[in-house]
């Protein structure tokens, strides 16, 4: 086919059928801290392809960035592209011949020649990218058998791979071996390892790596300092972090927006959001432009300390600085307002959130609905908001929680003009499988009896389970209303039901 190179006779997996490639690497014991210095005694480069037939690899693809490789070193049997895939490896292996009579040396010769450490590093990086760390380490230990000497890239790939796997201690062992081999890691490798230690709270180890940087003359960048600052804040050592910030300011390196955000987050986590706000002013004076992450950090701190309305002033400053609020901004504001009972503010945030096109999640909608129901007990003007949010939840296919339904029934029943709607909501919640509390049933019966909706009150009474506690059921109101309507027989039935449940009503049916 035009534009496609022919298959090479030196395919790295040529002449190895799948059945024979499950031998060595998949079964060798190893430890990430020792495999480099002490490779398995019985390891051989002949066993190199076995890891590619492991079932876990067959289920994956992986990609690496690589410089173009000469055709004669093709790992696939055709000209290599920048994107390598395990599936291509396996297809090559599955279709290759199997001359069992070949000598081991001949098998190795036909297996293919990895002639440069660059090609070797491409394979190593590919394995790590696909999560095959054990196989990557065993491949590393085979470098001498292939006549190759690991270079600085080999070690850097392994350090970065272990850090991504959250194995900082193993990465540190690789770094030590790298130094012993005479290589000097660059600042990116050091910073990656420092960050890995900081993320798990191992500040002592992070500072040890930082000291190694100084000893070999590798200058830290602001990113390096930011990792240390975040690590100190993560473990609550905020004063030390603030001292570090002071030292950074005296260096030729300028703090960036991430430096200040990390320090603000540290202050907010320990209830010192006022000091975090002072840092916002300082960052602005330095000519830095606060981003949405910085503002969200300040929002979160303010709400934790019970100062939700400070969030509105921050929102105003945010807009004045042409920083657009995101979903986290609005959801943090909404949650904070609801948490501290600022229902009016919560409604405002909710309406703006919907207006700009953000979706309010189910939990937040239920929280808002409950807050509005409670607020409407004393302030009837919130009833319109209750209706709107309730209707939007139903129209938007939200799941309305049972406690929200029960508060709705209470809200409507306590409002004389909405008792019928309360009855409808009670029917709705029963229809979808909720079992209302006895208090909710009793409230509905009492409200319906009070507004002469006796038939609906009787229907609610019939909806109640037989094993419900009869205490609190408004039998007196029902009997009285039935008497007034001249429905003596039904009043007698209700009276008899009450006696059967062990309750003696004060009101009796008319004779």
pLDDT of residue 457: 81
Region 333-352: what's the mean pLDDT? Answer: 90
* Model pLDDT for residues 408-428, shown as the tens digit of each residue: 999 998 887 788 899 999 999
Higher pLDDT, 476 or 214: 214
% of the chain beyond a pLDDT of 70: 76
| DSSP annotation string for 307-343 | -TTHHHHHHHHHHHTT----HHHHHHHHHHHHHTT-H
Torsion region of 465: left, alpha or beta (phi above 0 gives left; psi -120 to 50 gives alpha): beta
pLDDT of residue 467: 57
At 472 the pLDDT is 67
Q: What are the distances in angstroms from CA 91 to CA 59, 74, 472? A: 13, 15, 75
| pLDDT at res. 279 | 96
Q: For the chain, state the CA radius of gyration.
A: 36
| pLDDT band (50, 70, 90) for residue 68 | very low
Mean pLDDT for 337-366 is: 91
The pLDDT tens digits for 73-104 are: 333 333 344 334 434 543 333 344 443 433 33
Query: Mean pLDDT across the stretch 176-194?
Result: 96
- The token duo for 164 is 């991504």
Looking at residue 435, what is its pLDDT? 87
Q: What is the pLDDT of residue 113?
A: 57
Is residue 195 predicted with pLDDT exceeding 70? yes
Across the chain, mean pLDDT equals 78
Residue 431: how many other CB atoms lie within 10 Å: 8
For 203, residues 6+ apart whose C-beta sits below 8 A from its C-beta are: 197, 228, 231, 232, 235, 237
Paired tokens of 423: 């009855």
Q: How confident is the model at residue 112 (pLDDT cuts 50, 70, 90)?
A: low
pLDDT at 320 over 50: yes
Q: What contacts 24+ positions apart, CB below 8 Å, involve 433-442?
A: 434/402, 434/405, 435/465, 436/402, 436/405, 436/406, 436/409, 437/406, 438/464, 438/468, 438/469, 438/472, 438/473, 439/472, 440/406, 440/409, 440/410, 441/468, 441/473, 442/472, 442/473, 442/474
Written as six digits, the tokens of 94 are 């599955």
Q: Which residue has the higher pLDDT, 471 or 454?
A: 454
- Spell out where 171-219 has E strands: none
pLDDT value for 216:
94
Q: Evaluate whether 230 touches 200 at the Cβ level (below 8 Å).
A: no
- Is the predicted pLDDT of residue 375 greater than 50, yes or no? yes
Q: Which two tokens stand for residue 409?
A: 């029934």
Burial class (CB in 10 A: 0-12, 13-18, 19+), 12: buried
Report pLDDT for 114. 67
**Residue 144 and residue 135 in contact, taking contact as beta carbons nearer than 8 Å:** no
CB atoms within 10 A of CB 117: 18
In degrees, rounded to 5, the angle at the alpha carbon of residue 338 between the alpha carbons of residues 333 and 343 is: 105
Residue 357 CB contacts under 8 Å (≥ 6 apart), including other chains: none
**Is the confidence at residue 134, as pLDDT, over 90?**
no
**Average confidence (pLDDT) over 260-285:** 95
Q: Quick check: 184 pLDDT over 60?
A: yes
**What pLDDT sits at residue 448?**
86
The full 3-state SS of 429-458, as one line of letters, equals HHHCCCCCCHHHHHHHHHHHHHCCCHHHHH
> Residue 128 pLDDT > 80, yes or no?
yes
- For the cut 70, the answer to whether the pLDDT of residue 50 exceeds it is no
Over the stretch 427-470, which tens digit does the pLDDT of each residue have?
A: 999 899 998 888 888 888 888 888 888 888 888 887 775 556 67
44 Cβ partners below 8 Å, 6+ apart? 24, 142, 145
Angle between helices 327-339 and 362-375 (to 10 degrees): 30
Contacts of 394 (CB under 8 A, 6+ apart): 400
14-23, 177-186, 201-210, 257-266: which range is least confident on average? 14-23
DSSP state of 78: S
Q: Are 123 and 75 in contact (CB under 8 A)?
A: yes
Q: Which two tokens stand for residue 506?
A: 């004060």
Predicted TM-score (pTM) of the model is 0.68
**How many other CB atoms are found less than 10 A from the CB of residue 289?**
11
Q: What is the pLDDT of residues 391-404, one digit of tens each?
A: 999 998 899 999 99
Q: How many CA atoms lie within 13 Å of 31's alpha carbon, on the beta-carbon side? A: 6
Q: How confident is the model at residue 140 (pLDDT cuts 50, 70, 90)?
A: confident
Mean pLDDT of 382-386: 91
Contact 110, 15 (CB under 8 A): yes
CA distances, 496 to each of 68, 462, 478 (Å): 92, 14, 13
Q: What pLDDT, on a 0 to 100 scale, did the predictor assign at position 45?
A: 36
């Amino acid at each position: 086919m035009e534009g496609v190179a022919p298959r090479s006779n030196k395919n790295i997996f040529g002449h190895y059928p799948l059945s024979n490639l499950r031998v060595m690497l998949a079964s060798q014991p190893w430890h990430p801290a020792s495999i480099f210095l002490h490779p398995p005694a019985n390891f051989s480069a002949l066993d190199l392809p076995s890891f590619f037939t492991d079932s876990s690899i067959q289920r994956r693809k992986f990609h690496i960035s690589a410089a173009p490789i000469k055709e004669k070193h093709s790992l696939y049997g055709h000209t290599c592209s920048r994107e390598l895939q395990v599936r291509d490896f396996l297809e090559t292996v599955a279709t290759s011949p199997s001359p069992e009579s070949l000598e081991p040396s001949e098998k190795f010769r036909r297996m293919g020649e990895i002639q440069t450490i660059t090609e070797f590093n491409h394979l190593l990086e590919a394995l790590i990218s696909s999560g095959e760390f054990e196989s990557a380490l065993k491949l590393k230990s085979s470098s001498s058998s292939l006549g190759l000497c690991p270079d600085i890239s080999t070690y850097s790939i392994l350090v970065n791979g272990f850090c991504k796997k959250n194995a900082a201690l193993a990465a540190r062992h690789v770094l030590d071996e790298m130094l012993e081999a005479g290589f000097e890691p660059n600042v990116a490798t050091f910073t990656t390892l420092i960050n890995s230690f900081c993320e798990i709270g191992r500040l002592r180890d992070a500072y040890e790596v930082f000291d190694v940087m100084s000893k070999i003359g590798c200058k830290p960048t602001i990113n390096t300092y930011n990792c240390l600052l975040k690590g100190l804040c993560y473990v609550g050592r905020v004063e030390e972090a603030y001292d570090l910030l002071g030292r950074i300011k005296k260096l030729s390196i300028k703090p960036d927006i991430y430096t200040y955000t990390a320090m603000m987050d540290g202050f907010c986590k320990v209830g010192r959001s006022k000091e975090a706000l002072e840092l916002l002013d300082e960052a602005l004076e330095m000519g830095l432009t606060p981003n949405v992450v910085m503002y969200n950090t300040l929002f979160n701190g303010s709400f934790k300390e019970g100062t939700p309305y400070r969030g509105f002033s921050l929102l105003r400053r945010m807009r004045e600085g042409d920083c657009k609020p995101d979903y986290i901004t609005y959801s943090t504001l909404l949650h904070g307002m609801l948490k501290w009972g600022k229902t009016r503010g919560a409604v405002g945030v909710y309406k703006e959130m919907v207006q700009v096109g953000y979706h309010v999640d189910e939990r937040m909608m239920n929280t808002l609905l409950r807050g509005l129901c409670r607020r409407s007990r004393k302030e009837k003007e919130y009833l319109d908001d209750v209706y709107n949010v309730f209707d939007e939840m139903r129209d938007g296919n939200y799941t309305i929680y049972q406690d929200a339904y029960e508060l709705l029934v209470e809200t409507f029943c306590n409002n004389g003009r909405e008792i019928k709607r309360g009855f409808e909501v009670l029917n709705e919640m029963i229809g979808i499988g909720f079992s209302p509390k006895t208090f909710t049933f009793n409230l509905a019966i009492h409200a319906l009896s009070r507004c002469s909706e006796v038939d609906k009150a009787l229907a609610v009474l019939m909806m109640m389970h037989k094993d419900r506690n009869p205490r609190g059921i408004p039998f007196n109101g029902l009997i009285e209303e039935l008497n007034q309507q001249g429905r003596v027989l039904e009043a007698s039935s209700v009276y008899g039901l009450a006696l059967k449940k062990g309750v003696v009503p004060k009101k009796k049916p008319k004779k």
